[in-house]
Chains A and B, each alone.
Chain A
Amino acid sequence: MADQKIASRTQVNLVGLGKADYRGNPSTLCQGCGHNSISSQIIAACYELDILPEQIVKFSGIGCSSKSPTYFLGRSFGFNGLHGRMPSLATGALFGDHTLRGLAVSGDGDTASIGMGQFKHVLRRNLRLVYIVENNGVYGLTKGQFSATAEVGLYLKGQGSNPYMPVDIAWEALVGNATFVARSFAGDPKQVKELIKAALSHRGIALLDIISPCVTFNNKDTAVHSYAWGKEHEVALHELSYVPPAEEIMVDYEEGEIQEVTMHDGSKVILKKLEHDYDPYNRAEAMRILEEANAKQWLLTGLIYIDPDKPSLLDIYNLTETPLNRLTENRLRPPRESIKQVNDLMF
């Protein structure tokens, strides 16, 4: 393949792939769209983590954000499903091969409006899935209507002023028993990348609510989903860096300066303390800080909550080591003699 030839001439990762092997088709989203920046960080994170693209399955619903899986990991299987119904599709599909990691991209309309039900239920099932919400407060593909995360009073051309209270996706995730809840900002690519890496190492569901400005319909400086507002109001809980399993932590930190989160696969997330002390294992504290952020108009970013060891959906099903989708007839159809047993069970 052409891509592989290029890769062999340039830098490759531990699985022998170049960054180009992680790319997808050229984006058809608007220039400057926050989603493109997130796609780039997905590419970078997977490349740096030495994950084979074939090991990842992409999922999305409907909307601008949901188009983006075409623009990264072209060698990964993917499915662009129905509006608001991506979680169920991902749930069923990931039963096919328990060695695969799911990576889903959704939007605020896809998740917090039409898809609220499936969103909440995939959280409580703890499916092993990186669930990224590219949150911009507005419907892009249908040209500029309010989404459920838009703030009260937001004025949009042709729509007037938003009369309804917003949905806070991170809050919903927390209340919904998600085992990994993070918020980030497309204007903070380094943090986005480290969070994606941590999320890919998580045993269960990892919800990333990423504020990803829509440059076409909702980027006025006063709008809470705009670049300007985000830059001005971002308050990071910590500085985040991801350390893969079996890799030494190379930087020396002062006593009390960092908190280490050990992921289920042995990798670590190093949280370097900034202004606040913050313990991401504490669910009550997570709720409190979200309330505080809301009151103080912060764009609070970082790893808000984590429970790294809770069994994932597939863990509780006691499935064969052989992926289910490789089982053949001799393992799927009960033997001939069992039909007598069945008939004996009837009256």
Chain B
Amino acid sequence: MSLAQVKDDLKPGLETQPIVNAFSITVGSVNGSGSQTSNLTILRALFKMGIPVSGKNLFPSNIQGLPTWYTIRVNKDGFLARCDESEIVIAMNPATLYKDLHDVQPGGAFFYADDIPLTNKRDDVSIYPMPVKAISRSSSAPTELRDYIANMVYVGVLARMINIDMEKIHLALHFHFKGKTAPIDLNFGVIQKAYDWANENLTKTDPYVVEPMNLTDECILADGNTAAALGSIFGGVQLAAWYPITPASGIAEALIEYMPMFRKDPQEPGKNTFAIVQAEDELAAIGMTIGAGWSGLRAMTSTSGPGLSLMAEYTGLAYFAEIPIVVWDVQRVGPSTGLPTRTAQGDLTFAHFISHGDTQIVILLPGSINECFEFGWKSFDIAERLQTPVFVLSDLDFGMNQWMADKFEYPDTPMERGKVLWEADLERLKGQWARYKDVDGDGVTYRTLPGNRHPNAAYFGRGTGHDENARYSEDNKVWHALLDRLKKKYEKAREFVPAPVIQKEPGAEIGIISFGSTDPAIQEARVELLKKGVKTDFMRVRAMPFCEDVREFIKAHRQNYVIEMNRDGQLHQLISLEYPTEVMKLKSIAYTDGLPLTARFVREAILAEEKI
């Protein structure tokens, strides 16, 4: 639909110009009512119209009954961070009706189910009632599906009122119901009815509309958990042990879905090259992962904060016995059970120093859906190369929300399996080898794997002090040398963990440092700051240990703001520890309330710090 047509649709005499492809929609509904399907349908249809779009589910830890909100942001410039304001609000939950009405931006639109009595109205927003019950009752849906179907009414009404392409809505339903005609027809029927009703009965008095673009042609919509699972599949994961936990379960569930498609053996038809085990708890999940890593499998587990706490002891063993494993921590709000369905970046220091004694864990920090995929496979290469646990810290915002992303790319480097000796190698070495002897001087020693039939292959793995031959030892010099070698390995990791992503603005004196899912909010804030004349450079850290670029970036700026979603500024703490001489140039801007970061917060925080 062209802009001219849109204008024609607007109420005669309305003075506002249409506002195209730059607004947010919030849907307030009851958890468990099926609104997620409706919201995803809107999101996907907008995406297929070529408009940059993001969707965030702000949901309670509950199966049914509590209020839940879904926000969709369309933005022609591609800024897709969460924003506090909503220009369009759809109210389906009587319990939150007035809160929802209150939240509409002045000049915005408010849609509500007309069976909810609305007595207090607002003059500064357009208010549209929707005959939700009447339309869902008139559909052919069986009684038990009526409540679900009711949510399709707002899809149809919204589609009409902001000009969403109905063909794209059909495409979205087709994808959601995997091509099954009956549910597609049923849902589309309701949407069409609602669309027709709106066409005949509503007069548009708000300015918000969408128009097709072509900015999503080369993109996909995916969530971070699925991306992590698919990346791991391309990384050759062989054993995935897990225990259900929000928001990490999606990783294992995606593995369950996609492994059989992509990981049947090419040489032994029908046979699996992998195993997925649901463990009895996180203690067992990581135990299985470590057992598998020890026996030479690419092994992973996925969890969130509470599970990570349980994994602390075993992680220490893997670090000390030098066993490669990959642990995905999809962060949620802690401490304790915290806010299980809300997002945060509060596990960084814990994950890094996890376990008693001196431990330092290599950590990867994906900052996009594409990096969730990339680090999915890369993490195994790093773990096996170093023979150490590698943690990948994602978060709920990545893990459970749909993000627009570039298409996934095939791994650009072959697998790095590390130093493994098989029978022929031992034959060549005349059986002379030692599990923990630093032959190459890089701190990384050679290992053999159970099943190696050479009579000299075996060694006895242990979490107790050991010498180069893996024999029990309490010798003080042996212990000291061992801990030093482990440190050497960690130092070595600096060379091949992902380097930070650095973006520069000529003349900038201010540096912004962050990691993970804060990226979109910071990108948007930088543009806004620039409009106010505040130039910033940006460094998104992607791994620990840090590489030299990090120090150089800090040094190059008068002031560096470390922005993160936690209370204590954990990245700020870790950088300060690493570069104590640069501390005066570092300032923490840390904030956590369970919601994804907004550009406004970043912008205002920096302006306040800079006293502008």
| Chain A residues within 8 Å of B, Cβ to Cβ | 1, 4, 52-54, 57-58, 69-70, 74-82, 85, 87-97, 99-100, 117-118, 121, 317-327, 329-336, 338-339, 341-343, 345-347
Complex Cα gap A325–B298 (Å): 9
Distance in angstroms between the alpha carbons of A89 and B291 in the assembled complex: 4
Q: How far is the CA of A317 from the CA of B270 in the complex (A)?
A: 11
From 51 to 103 in chain B, residues with beta carbon under 8 angstroms from any chain A beta carbon are none
Query: Which partner residue on chain B sits nearest A336 by CB separation?
Result: B410
Task: Decide if B272 is an interface residue (CB 8 Å cutoff).
Answer: yes
The answer to whether A347 and B294 touch (CB under 8 A), given A52-B453, A320-B273, is: no
**Contact of A95 with B283 in the complex, beta carbons under 8 Å:** no
Known contacts being A96-B451, A332-B273, A343-B407, is A80 close to B461, with CB within 8 Å? yes
Chain B residues 438 to 479 lying within 8 A of chain A, measured CB to CB, are 448-464, 472
CB closest chain-A residue, reference B449 = A325
| B290 pairs with A117, CB closer than 8 A | no
Complex: how many Å from CA A317 to CA B259? 13
- Docked CA distance A75–B426 (Å): 14
What residues of chain A lie closer than 8 Å to B452, measured between beta carbons? 54, 77
Q: Which residues of B contact A74 (CB under 8 A)?
A: 458
* Cβ-neighbour of A333 out of B234, B448, B455 (below 8 A): B234
Residues of A within 8 A of B454 (CB): 54
- Report the 4 A-B pairs with minimum CB-CB distance, sorted nearest first: A96-B295, A92-B291, A88-B287, A332-B236
Known: A320-B268, A320-B272, A325-B450. A1 touches B455 (CB 8 A): yes
Q: Which of A94, A322, A325 has the most C-beta atoms of chain B within 10 angstroms of its own C-beta?
A: A325
Does the CB pair A89–B460 fall under 8 Å?
no
What is the minimal beta-carbon distance from B422 to any residue of chain A, in angstroms? 8
Once the chains are docked, how many angstroms separate the CA of A320 from the CA of B233? 17
CA distance A324 to B271 in the complex (A): 11
Q: How far is the CA of A75 from the CA of B230 in the complex (A)?
A: 39
CB pair B450–A96 under 8 Å, yes or no, is yes
**A84 CB → nearest B CB, Å:** 9
A326 touches B451 (CB 8 A): yes
The answer for the CA separation of A154 and B455 in the assembled complex, in Å, is 46
Q: A91-B291, A318-B271 are in contact. Are A85 and B283 (CB under 8 A)?
A: yes
* Residue pair A97, B271 in contact (C-beta under 8 Å): no
Contact (Cβ within 8 A) B291 A90 = yes
Tell me the total A-B contact number using a CB cutoff of 8 A.
Answer: 226
Separation of A317 and B268 alpha carbons in the complex (Å): 14
Pairwise interchain contact B297-A96, C-beta atoms closer than 8 A: yes
Complex Cα–Cα for A304 and B365 (A): 53
How many angstroms between the C-alpha atoms of A76 and B456 in the bound complex? 9
Known: A96-B295, A121-B280, A325-B449. 17 other contacts (CB 8 A): A1-B431, A1-B456, A53-B458, A54-B451, A69-B460, A79-B291, A88-B284, A91-B277, A92-B295, A94-B295, A96-B292, A118-B280, A322-B268, A324-B238, A327-B273, A334-B263, A346-B407
Write 13 A-B pairs (CB below 8 A) sorted by A numbering: A82-B287, A89-B288, A89-B291, A95-B297, A96-B451, A97-B451, A318-B272, A332-B236, A332-B298, A333-B236, A334-B263, A342-B408, A347-B44
Chain B residues near A94 (CB-CB < 8 A): 291, 295
A229 to B453, CA, bound (A): 43
Taking CB atoms, residues of chain A closer than 8 Å to B291 are: 79, 88-95
Residues of B at the A interface (CB closer than 8 Å) are 44, 47-48, 172, 175, 220-222, 226, 230, 233-236, 238-239, 241, 258, 261-263, 265-268, 270-275, 277, 279-281, 283-299, 313-314, 317, 377, 402, 407-411, 414-415, 417, 431, 448-464, 472
Contacts of A89 in B (CB 8 A): 287-288, 290-291, 294
Q: Which residues of A contact B296 (CB under 8 A)?
A: 96, 325
Within 8 Å by CB of B460, from A80, A317, A335, lies A80
Please indicate the chain A residues that have their CB under 8 angstroms from the CB of B263 in the complex.
332, 334
Q: Is the CB of A81 within 8 A of B262?
A: no
- CB pair A77–B450 under 8 Å, yes or no, is yes
- In contact, B266 and A331 (Cβ under 8 angstroms): yes
Q: How close is A2's CB to chain B, nearest CB, in angstroms?
A: 12
Complex contact A347–B289 (CB within 8 A):
no
Contacts of A118 in B (CB 8 A): 280, 283-284, 287
A303 to chain B, nearest CB (A): 27
A265 to B574, CA, bound (A): 57
- CB contacts (< 8 Å) of A82 on chain B: these are 287, 313-314, 317, 463
B463 touches A80 (CB 8 A): yes
- Cα distance A322–B451 when bound, in Å? 11
Do the beta carbons of A85 and B294 come within 8 Å of each other? no
Q: Which B residue's beta carbon lies closest to that of A73?
A: B458
Complex formed: what's the CA distance from A92 to B290 in Å? 7
Tell me, rounded to whole Å, the shortest Cβ–Cβ distance linking A93 to chain B.
4
Q: Which residues of A contact B277 (CB under 8 A)?
A: 91
**Contact A81/B287 with A54-B457, A333-B234 known, Cβ cut-off 8 Å:** yes
Minimum C-beta distance from B472 to chain A (A): 7
> Closest CB of chain B to A119's CB: distance in Å?
11
**Residue of chain A at shortest CB distance from B221:** A347
Q: Which of A78, A326, A332 contacts B458 (CB 8 A)?
A: A78
CB B456 to nearest CB in A, in angstroms, measures: 8
